[in-house]
Structures are given as C-alpha cells and as structure tokens.
Chain A
Amino acid sequence: MAAKKLTYRWLLLDRFKNRTAFSRPRLRPACGHRAFIGAASVSTLVACGSAADPGSDAASEMTRSGIAAWVADAGPWRSQTINWPRDFAEHPGAPTEAREWFIALVDTDDASVHGIVQRIARVQIASTPAASGSSASAWALRAVAQSAGHWESDTAPKQTWAETERVAVGLAGYRSNEGGATLSRFETHVLGHSATFEPQSRSAHDHCSGLWTLTLPSVSARITQTRCPRVQHASTRTIAWSQPMVTEAIIMKDGDTRSLSGVAWMRHAWGGVPEVGSAVRLNTAVLTLAGLGTLEVTQTSRASGRGPRITTVRPLRLSASAEAFGTDDAEWTPADRSHALGERSTLVVSSLGLDLTLKPMSDEAATADIDGRLRRTVVVSGSHLGAGYIDVDSADPVGAQQ
C-alpha cells in the first residue's frame, strides 16, 4: 500500500485510570504462578524468592529462575543472553510496582476514515524493598509494548492488528523522598525490538517529557511528548498522578504512515499496588468518541450477586481533574468477562446524553494477549459516532481461579 500521510486529532491515554489503589486482579504471591501481569511477571517471581544479600554482585537464585522464565516466554529471543543486573534489593512480600499505560485512540475528523484505534502500552513492574525511610535500592524493570489497532477508510483497506512484545528488562537505581522518587540509574536490555525513552529530566516524576520510539514487527511509533503538567491524585500508598501532554506521533504500519497530534493523557502510579481478592469483579473501559472526548468507564459488581452494580463514567478533560469519580448514572451492559466483548455492548450515561452501542471491529482472537485481559477495538454508534478501545479488566477473581 502506498504510503500516505494523514493528520488526525488524537488522544493518548494511559490505561491505569482511576485505580491508583486498585490493581487488576492478580494472584497473591503464590510463587511460580504467573497469571495476570504478563506471561513472566518478573516482579512476582523476584518477590517470591529469597533475597540476595544487599550489595551482592551475584544475582540471586530466584532472579535467575525469573530470568529463565522470562527467556522461556520470550519467543524467538529466548536464545539471547540477558545480562540481568545485580540484585541488591530485598524482596518483601508485597512488591512495589510502577506502571505506565498509554492508549492512543484516534478520534478522526476525517469523514473518509471510519475509525482508528491505536494502543501502545508500556508497563513497568518493579520489586523493591518495602519503602522504609527515605531510600530504596533497585527496581527490576520490564517493558511491554503492545500495539492493537484498526484503521479503515474509503481509500484504504481495513487493517486490524494486535502485537505484543516484551521489549526490555532493566534496572533502575531509585531513591525516594517525601515528595516522590528520583531515578539515579536506568538500564534497559533490548530483546530484539526496542522501546527507548530519552527523558528531558532525570527526575522520575518528570519523565513524561521526552521522546519515545517503539518498534514492533510490523508497527513502529515515534512519539514526542513536550509538556506535562501534573495533577496529584488523592493520597494513597501509591504515588499517582495524571498528566495531560501535548504530543505528536508518527505511527508506521506496513508502510502506511499516520501522523498524529493532539493531547495525550498518562496516568502514572508508583508504589505498592495492592493485590486483589475475590469479593468484587472490576470491569474497565476507555472510549474515545468523536466530538466528545475520552471517557473512563468503570464497573464493579460483587461476586455474591448482592449489592449494587456500580458503573461510573468520567470524562477526561484538560483541566485534569483529580476527582475520584465522575457520574454514576450509567449502565454498561453486558459487562462481564464472558459478554463484555461480545457482539454488542451498550453504554448509557444519562447525564452526559450518551446512548451508545459498541460493536467490535476485530474478532477477539486478534487481540488476545499476554495477561488474560480482554481488549478490543470497537466502533461506536448511537448518540455519538466514533471509535473506541475497550479494555475489560474483569479477570476472574482469585478465588475462582484457585
């Protein structure tokens, strides 16, 4: 296909949403069980092992097995040698994690384009000593790059893709203080594909500013983020904030180039992300709708069947409101793991005048990915037209899986 350049208004979103204190369900530190957070959750593995002596140059046995698992899951790159950095951290039962999620949802103004959704996720998972006092030592880092998308226009054939790659492991020296954390060291170890970042500042809190490049087998992206005012979230054990960013990106897919610019959102969380039990199921979604913007949709329902099903919808705006909740006069149906990404889903939000029907653009198999989550690109019709990306986080409760 001939390369062509289109400009779209777009939004780049994180996917961590309003869950600074809520992790998606994952197993308690049942060692060796790697379920929700990627095929090789380094943090879980590391956290389960015995700690290496602080300051030791030798990797711990646990870390080695973690690497082995990682490599085993690394597909065509398993044969590569990975130099795991020295492990000089203790590994408490509750790992400390930091995650970044970005979702690029293209809200097209071009009538000839029927919907473009691009998601790029970068996940970091880290294990550190419990945040004792003012310092911590090391983080084991992992980056997962994912690209799932769809574009379709009158002049271009439909394209749908989903790719997920683990692109780096590494280590960051880390020092925390009252106000946050500072990266003192950062290493990445590329596994054949790349996700690099050039921070404008070494401050962990400011590293939203910079240049990203991402390369996957058929998709590459170059993203420049140039501004990042921050909104601190309510105090929890996790340091969390939201950042709107003026962002430009070029995404290349099979020779087709899309140039995008607009406002990006990133939700950032550093700190102890708690494990999740079995009492409540959580579903989440992000939708970008033409003429309206981007919505975070969250739904909880009890495993017991009692109590209310709570659906909240929060429009993301440049004012970067740190309000915990948006409107709750919403109905999202069906919204459980078995149906949420079925042939048809509806979302009604009375206060926002929304009455939407969501239909998947691609079949589920195309977007099955590493961590058991369900996610698909959708086309939206009803009171508003547009494209969206649903990320259903209704992973079965722990109890149901054991």
Chain B
Amino acid sequence: MSGCADGLSRLLAVVGVSVLLAACGTDENVARDQVNESSAQLVDAGLISASAQRPGDPERGRQALLTEPYVECGLPASVWHELGATDPAMSLEERGGRNAELPYFLTATTNDEGVDLVVNNCLTCHAAPLFGELVIGLGNEFADFTNNPSIAVERAGLLVRGDAETRAWEKYADRVASIAPYVQLPTVGSNPANNLTFALIAHRDPRTQAWSNTPLRAVPSTTPPPVSVPPWWRMRKKHAMFNMGEGRGDHARLMMSASMMCTDDRESLEAIDAYAPDIRAFISQLEAPPWPFAINQALARQGELLFNANCSACHGRYGADESYPNRLVDIDHVGTDATLVIQAEMQGKPWINWLNESYYGELSQAIPGRGYVAPPLDGIWATGPYLHNGSVPNLYQVLDSSQRPALWMSLARSGNDVDAFDREHVGWLHQTLTVGSLEALDSDRHKYVYDTAKVGHGNGGHTFGDHLEHRQRLAVIEYLKTL
C-alpha cells in the first residue's frame, strides 16, 4: 500500500520540482523559454498575516478524519483481506464497523458500483506510533517511499475478481501508475508530498477536475526533493501551510487536496468540502505530546533564556507569554537546502496557476515565499530528523552545524524503538557513514541511508546555534523538551 494516495500530507505545496529542465531537451534556447514560461514570482520574506478560516466542529472533524472516504479510490476490500492480517495493535478502538478491522491509516468505503474498497486516509503520513502509542498528527518519519508503489498495486491485481472489482482496482492502479515515477525517494522516512501533488496536478483539469491517464501539463522531477512531514499540532499557530508558506487562505480547502488522487468531479469535492472545515478544526486543536522522560528543570531554565535571546524572533515564545510570529525567513538568511525555493521560482508557475484556477483556488491561494517559514517548536522533540528535508538527525546538530553527518543511517525502525532514541541530543540514534562503510553495508540497509549530497537533501544552513557552547546547546535542548 505504500505510495497510495494518503492523507493531508499530499497537500498542495505549489513549489516546483526540477527535471522539467532535463525533460526540455538539450536546446538551451528552448530550455530557457520553457523556464521563463514556468517561472514564478515568489513573495519576499517577512511576516505572514492570518487568513479567516471557516469554523468547524473538532469532534465531528475527528470522526470525519477517521471514517470518511475523502480518498475515494483504493484496493477492493476483498483483496486487502486476502493480503493482510491487520495487526490489532494498528487498529483504532474508536472506529467501528468495517473500519474496526483495518489499520488506522485505512478507511473502508463502497464505490458507486457497490464494490467495497479500502482507501488510505490522512493518517498514513500524519500519524505514527511513538513509544507505544499512536500519535495523531505526528508526521510519519518511518514511511517507506523507496519502492515503486505500482509494484504492490499491480500485483494486488492478481487477486481481483469480477468486472466491477477490476474496474475499481484498475482506476486506483492507473492513478498509482501515473504518480509512481515521481514519488520514489532513496531513504525511508523521506516524504515525496510535493512531487506527488505536482504529479496529480499534471493529470487533472483544473476546472472540471477530470482525470487524464496521460499528463496534461508538465510533470515534476523523477528525483523528488524529500520533505519531513510537519506535525499537525503546529497548525493551531500557523497562518500559512507548507514549508514556504505557500498555502494561504482557507486551510480546509487546501487540506482537501488529499482527495486529488481519486476525486474526479466538483460534486464529489463539494461533498468532501462539507466536512473539511470540521477536520481543520480538529487539527487546529491538537497539542504536542509531552516529553516522556525526566527533565533537568534548572538546565531548562537556562536554556529558556538562551532560546529567547537567540531563537524566539523566528520560532516564537512559549509559556505564559506565548507568541508566534509566522515569519518567512529569506532563503539566503536561513541557508538551508534551497531546492524547493529554486524550483518553485523556476518551474512553479504552471502548478501555482493550476491551483489558483481550480476548485481549491476558489477559497485559497498558492503564494510561495522566497524562503522557509520558521516553524513553531511545540513537541519538537518528537519530530526528528530535522530541517524541512529531514537531513539532520538530532537537535544538537541543528544547533551545531559542524556536527552534522554528511552520510548517515537512522538506527530506529519505528517510533516504538525507544532504545534507539537519543535522549541527550534528542532525535533518533544514527550511524555516521563513510563511502567505504556504505559499500560494506548490507544492500537491504541502503534504503535507510540519508545522503546529504543528493539534490534536495542538503544539511547546510540554520547556523544560528553555532556560536553557542556545548553546555549552552544542551541547555537549549533541555528547554525544547518542555515545549
């Protein structure tokens, strides 16, 4: 099921992804012309103002999130049940009926022809087990997008029976086949959400929402830039969605892009839109999980002073005088991997236009900035690896760029791997590799290796903690545990 249309991680983040250049051939003039046609004007760094949000009922939103089929295509249920014995530990007790038998990231539905389906939901990417408990809203940093998702789906077709099931499966298989070339990443935990969105846009008419198995416009790179899935509990503070603050306006409508893979007409989108504000309301009241281990309170108090002096201008203040500035930081200032920004600037225009012309654009807008939004740091301890691309294994290395490994492998295989969690530096334990040690690694472990030399994987920038001393960094980290 990997690579299936999942939930809100597939939100529109209208930033361009490369390879258009490569696809344009070798004629430089042609390439330049096409780049110009694709170039987008990015907004300058600064504070992002709030947009009015449609009200919603959080409790109804939770129900809708967990039970509504906002991703409308998937595997026939009969196939799923042939394939999978759901681990009871993966199910959600609060879900009844057919959903009770499914893992939390899948939802049961029935299509127009009466075929029972199992479809992905938002929790595929936006929930994860952590130390024995499922945390809704935590980005799944263990999702495996290293395989071609079509492999599993095409093979699942072996188990499909009858014409109606075949049509249902083949619709899903067609969609997966269309996006498959653009969503494979080299490292487990990296997420191709941006590329997935652009691939879906390429196959869909903005006005009618009709799907085409052949692309209607430029497709993204086949080497997607990785993103680390941000936790949902940040949404209660954020004025704009996504790394570059490109998701402006009505957040609920933007979140609905989770339906972009399978929903082919406006009427169906409107049905989903009826409860989308409820889901947004639920997400907006989520809170970060507390640090589950002991905290050195004296050290944390020292860290708070350091944090407020060095970090709060961008990341906000916490506690009694809580504030969050919603600051878009210029890429030249933050200095982190610029692939998203560069590609948005060079190739983002068609995708921005698509969104703004579509049903989604009626209430929201795609306005990417020339930089990245400094996120709120609530629950930051749980969200490693760090930076927008997950290139830095732990918080200590975020605060000391000289300690960041160029080639590394996470030693954790799930969020329940408590022994693989580094409580001092905060993040999942990792092994630093060299080219030599990489070659000696068993081939089946290569997919856990993060290579910062790859495009979009850079671990530079955010050097704002480099001037701190070792103990000061530990103090800041101790304070961050309290958020």
Complex A-B, nearest 3 residue pairs according to Cβ-Cβ distance, in ascending order: A280-B157, A277-B161, A274-B82
Q: Is A312 an interface residue (CB 8 A)?
A: yes
**A306–B173 Cα gap in the complex (Å)?**
10
Residues in A neighbouring B87, C-beta threshold 8 A: 235
Q: Is A354 an interface residue (CB 8 A)?
A: no
Give per-residue flags for B132-167: 1 if the beta carbon is below 8 A from chain A beta carbons, else 0: 000000000000000110111011011111100110
Residues of A263-285 contacting chain B, CB below 8 A: 272, 274-280, 282
* A21 contacts B154, C-beta separation under 8 Å: no
Known: A235-B87, A279-B160. A306 touches B154 (CB 8 A): no
Task: List 7 additional A-B contacts (Cβ < 8 Å) besides A237-B84, A277-B161, A279-B157.
Answer: A279-B158, A306-B170, A307-B154, A307-B170, A310-B154, A325-B148, A328-B148
Per DSSP, chain B at the interface is helix
- Pick from A25, A235, A307: contact of B173, CB below 8 A: A307
Q: Is A236 an interface residue (CB 8 A)?
A: yes
Q: Hey, which bits of chain B sit against chain A, CB under 8 A?
A: 81-85, 87, 147-148, 150-152, 154-155, 157-162, 165-166, 169-170, 173-174, 177, 180, 213, 442, 444
* A237 contacts B180, C-beta separation under 8 Å: no
Query: What is the CB-to-nearest-CB distance from A212 to chain B, in angstroms, rounded to a whole number?
Result: 30
Known: A22-B155, A302-B157. A310 touches B148 (CB 8 A): yes
* B83 contacts A236, C-beta separation under 8 Å: yes
Residues in A neighbouring B159, C-beta threshold 8 A: 21-22, 274-277
* A300 contacts B177, C-beta separation under 8 Å: no
Residues in B neighbouring A307, C-beta threshold 8 A: 150, 154, 170, 173-174, 177
Residues of A305-327 contacting chain B, CB below 8 A: 306-308, 310, 312, 319, 321, 323-325
Q: How large is the interface on A (under 10, 10 to 19, 20 to 34, 35 or more residues)?
A: 20 to 34
- Pick from A274, A306, A312, A319: contact of B151, CB below 8 A: A312
Residues in B neighbouring A306, C-beta threshold 8 A: 170, 174, 213
Can you identify 11 A-B contacts, CB atoms within 8 angstroms? A235-B87, A237-B85, A274-B82, A276-B159, A277-B158, A277-B162, A279-B158, A306-B213, A308-B177, A319-B444, A321-B444
Residue of chain A at shortest CB distance from B444: A321
Query: What is the CB-to-nearest-CB distance from B4 to chain A, in angstroms, rounded to a whole number?
Result: 15
Known: A236-B85, A319-B444. A277 touches B160 (CB 8 A): yes
Residues in A neighbouring B173, C-beta threshold 8 A: 302, 307
Residues in A neighbouring B162, C-beta threshold 8 A: 277
Known: A307-B177, A308-B180. A279 touches B169 (CB 8 A): yes
Q: Hey, which bits of chain A sit against chain B, CB under 8 A?
A: 21-22, 25, 28, 235-237, 272, 274-280, 282, 298, 300, 302, 304, 306-308, 310, 312, 319, 321, 323-325, 328
**A91–B169 Cα gap in the complex (Å)?**
30
- Pick from B83, B152, B158, B442: contact of A282, CB below 8 A: B158
**A300–B177 Cα gap in the complex (Å)?**
13
**A46–B81 Cα gap in the complex (Å)?**
24
